[in-house]
Structure 1
Amino acid sequence: MRRLMPVLLAALLTAGCAASGDDGGGEPETGGIGPITFAVGREGTTYLQPLLDRWNQAHPAEKVTLIELPEAADEQRAQMVSNLQARSDRYDVLVLDVVWTAEFADNGWIIPLERGAFPLDKFLPPVVDTAVYNGKLWAVPYTSNAGLLFYRSDLVKKPPKTWADLRRRAIEVTKEHNIGGYAGQFLAYEGLTVNFSEAVGGQILSTDGQEVTLDSAKAKAALGFLAQGLREGWIPDDALSYKEEESRLAFQNGDLAFARNWPHAYGSAKAQLGDRFAVTRLPGQNGPGTSALGGQNLAVGAYSKHPKTARDFIHYFTSMETQRRVLSEGSFPPVWTELYDDPELIEQFPYLPVLKESILAAKPRPVSANYNQLSLVIASSVAKALSPPFPEPSDAVVNSLKADLTESLSTQ
């Protein structure tokens, strides 16, 4: 028996090692703990390093390394997709645009997360919805966003609440002050999809993303409003080449009385215009309009070697203390509801109450695993409808857009 004991002990140890390895489909022998990477777009990342340093000091064996991706969202997505399709473990924690959740989940590029592990009930409800796909939580909200109307408060007594108000006041300011009236993001890219989605109230696909539900009358009215502005001149022709940066510069340089943009444009406008501008909700056809819901979510890459550390890091990075710093030091809108009512933060960021109202009333862009293709279809069709000489949109234009969207859905 004494001679058999070493043999039996060795067999037990071997069996234990096999059970704790990868063969069982579980996490690696490290328990999923170890160094990780944090992949995020390059724009506005200077505030990140101090936050990462705090994590690294507290977790010397689980240090996080920042990987900066290109500034443009489509290029960020392309790099992530390329690595994930190759089953690369380069990205542990990914910063995803809210419209990418369905695509990345559907393709198995990110892993589902446990709802109870995160304080989702403390977050803005519409923001949480962007991280859910087919009933599962695939990411955790990190920043939120909604479109706002920036306006020159020194030139306009009351902000417009309807399209008719905006048109009337834009025409008046154009004539009196010889500047452009209004602009959004009208170049044929994702920004135009967003602007069109806001104008029609966000109803483009069914909630399950399987059917085109775009209201023809609302689509025609939205295109008609924009075409009218271009035709009458209170939307300058240059706006057809505007993305976020161009519209931001045009407004803060004094070339526009009204501009649709995201909250990130507030700081630079404040630095240049001082107290000569303000922000409000977007106007709609018959009252306050609907913003498109923007923002970013944090997800764990499916091929991460250290998923437990990645989940713990996401918990840290979406905590209220860190979220406060994301806003105060990075100027990115947080996801914790109570931060929008904080007096100190409101003093620093006066737009917070309006932004909270806009986010709570915002509508998501189409939820689809094929969102990128759908966005291209929308932007291309809308750009054609807004091409000179800016004719009144016809039923044929709207029907063509709906047909193209239906075809895109059928090829998923």
Structure 2
Amino acid sequence: MGRVRAVRRGLLVAAVLLAGWAGGGGPAGAGADGGRGALTFVTAGDLTDYLGPLVAEWNAERPAEPVTLVELPESADETRAQMLSELRSGSRRFDVLNIDVAWTSEFAAAGLIAPLERGRFGLGAFLPPVVDTATFRGRLYAVPYVTNAGLLYYRQDVLDAAGERPPRTWAELARLARTLAPRHGLGGYAGQFLPYEGLTVNVTEAIGSAGGTVLREGDARVGVDSDAAREALAFLAGGVREGWIPAEALRFKEEESRAAFAEGRLLFLRNWPYVYADAGRPGSKVAGRFGVAPLPGPDGPGRSVLGGSNLAVSARSRHPATAADFLAYLTGERVQRQVLTRGSLPPVRASLYTDPALVAAHPYLPILRESVLAAVPRPKSARYDQVSLAVQAVAQDVLALRASPEEGVRRLTRELAAIPHDGPIASGP
């Protein structure tokens, strides 16, 4: 089934790209008066097939302004590369882009996406932290579409049998992972520690939970040379050294860590909300035996990094008025409800987190709301890709015990200082 979907997606992308070349670089209907007309909506691969029906509903209601959905590879890195290649070439092919929240600053600084009017989208109804992910230099460059925050998954049955509660601090997590987990033949704690974007997220969360930051908000200056950063790296490295973070966790991405928890091999797991439904399915060894809690921090609940995606309009779109309407449609309450019920993705509208019917179907929503409200965005930089690579490389050496936390902080400070974080916004096409 996965191969069939991949082939279908590849044919669809090829057809759209060929149509763009044949039509002079713009989608069908380009040039409509008043910035209105057909759109092309580009996104990473839709694993749950929920976007197609949403686009079909729009097309049924707005036949004069149809939207063509283009799915790029499911890999975030490949999606980003293809989007950037198209936009930097001056192509008008893509009108609306579904981008990772971490890319908003990069795309905005490069002049690839257009600034938006704040008053158009009812942002006051959104969870406040998610709106911050859509801004750069104080201007709105995207509209939050779905959000995400890390949660702590734990074996409820194991903690109950020992008379323990879910850990609220790093010390409690370490104690239980070090002492209780081995008694049940379990690994203690895992996150996403392979050197990729997931490692950047885990390290940024730990630094933020300790009260620190990678880049200072507002001026994008390096802020990682701090006791908080040293404490965060020491916490993670100590888990590897003492064995309560299993060595195999250094090779985990989201799916590997999810599988380890669902197979009953971990006491604690840091991961995204999608794991909740998966771990509860028939066949999971932990179905009915696990719970979720906010991530712990040094002295109490910690702070997650915000995940999710934002919707942006290409700076070269010929139909920005229709594009703005499409953004409002996808972020309206009716569609946001479907984003959760059809796509199992956390919505951005605050009211949905206290909706009794939704909470009954998705019991993690109140905890997720708490985590989102306390969450921090990833570092805002015009060169976020370089920031992430630097964090990954340094954290990998610290977790592999090749460098001390102090050495890691010094090196990361030097490498981040060499990156132009707040470069000029390009003049645009």
TM-score by length of 1: 0.90
Quickly say closer, same or farther: Cα 1:297–1:165, change in 2 above 3 A.
same
Which entry has the higher C-alpha Rg, 1 or 2? 1
Distance in 1 (alpha carbons) for counterparts of 2:82 and 2:242: 42
**Residue of structure 1 aligned with 2:67, choices 64, 69, 89:** 64
- SS for the counterpart of 1:257 is strand
Number of the residue aligned with 1:182: 189
Q: For structure 2, which runs of at least 5 residues remain unmatched after alignment? A: 1-29, 424-429
One-letter code aligned to 2:412: L
TM-score by length of 2: 0.87
The offset of 1:240, in angstroms, is 0.5
Quickly say closer, same or farther: Cα 1:411–1:302, change in 2 above 3 A.
closer
**Residue of structure 2 aligned with 1:255, choices 247, 255, 265:** 265
The offset of 1:259, in angstroms, is 0.4
> How many residues are aligned here?
384
CA shift digits 1:188-243 (9 cap, x unpaired): 11111110011111611111243111243122211111111111211111101111
The offset of 1:29, in angstroms, is 4.9
- SS for the counterpart of 2:116 is coil
Number of the residue aligned with 1:24: none
Distance in 2 (alpha carbons) for counterparts of 1:394 and 1:289: 20
Distance in 1 (alpha carbons) for counterparts of 2:242 and 2:82: 42
Distance in 2 (alpha carbons) for counterparts of 1:198 and 1:138: 24
One-letter code aligned to 1:225: F
Q: Are the aligned partners of 2:38 and 2:66 in contact in 1 as well (CA < 8 Å)?
A: yes
- SS for the counterpart of 1:66 is strand
Number of the residue aligned with 1:335: 348
Q: Are the aligned partners of 1:193 and 1:378 in contact in 2 as well (CA < 8 Å)?
A: yes
Number of the residue aligned with 1:17: none
The offset of 1:140, in angstroms, is 0.6
Distance in 1 (alpha carbons) for counterparts of 2:125 and 2:168: 30
CA shift digits 1:26-72 (9 cap, x unpaired): x9452222211111110424011111111011111111111101111
The offset of 1:396, in angstroms, is 2.6
Report percent identity of matched pairs: 53
**Residue of structure 2 aligned with 1:300, choices 313, 335, 338:** 313
Moved more, 262-271 or 301-310: 301-310
Distance in 1 (alpha carbons) for counterparts of 2:220 and 2:278: 40
Distance in 1 (alpha carbons) for counterparts of 2:93 and 2:151: 36
Pairing 1:210-221 to 2, within 5 Å after superposition: 210-221=220-231
**Residue of structure 2 aligned with 1:163, choices 155, 165, 170:** 170
Pairing 1:1-400 to 2, within 5 Å after superposition: 28-157=31-160, 158-201=165-208, 203-271=213-281, 272=284, 273-387=286-400, 390=401, 393-400=404-411
Is the aligned partner of 1:403 residue 2:414? yes
Quickly say closer, same or farther: Cα 1:204–1:61, change in 2 above 3 A.
same
Distance in 2 (alpha carbons) for counterparts of 1:104 and 1:244: 25
Distance in 2 (alpha carbons) for counterparts of 1:325 and 1:411: 37
Distance in 2 (alpha carbons) for counterparts of 1:111 and 1:77: 17
Q: Which runs of 4+ in 1 moved over 3 A?
A: 409-412
Q: Are the aligned partners of 1:293 and 1:359 in contact in 2 as well (CA < 8 Å)?
A: yes
Moved more, 195-204 or 138-147: 195-204
What is the CA RMSD across the aligned residues, in angstroms?
A: 1.6
Quickly say closer, same or farther: Cα 1:274–1:355, change in 2 above 3 A.
same
Distance in 2 (alpha carbons) for counterparts of 1:394 and 1:309: 50
CA shift digits 1:275-312 (9 cap, x unpaired): 20111000111111110011111011112222221111
- SS for the counterpart of 1:155 is helix
Distance in 1 (alpha carbons) for counterparts of 2:31 and 2:69: 23
The offset of 1:136, in angstroms, is 1.4
The offset of 1:129, in angstroms, is 1.0
- SS for the counterpart of 1:409 is coil
Moved more, 338-347 or 168-177: 168-177
Number of the residue aligned with 1:6: none
The offset of 1:266, in angstroms, is 1.1
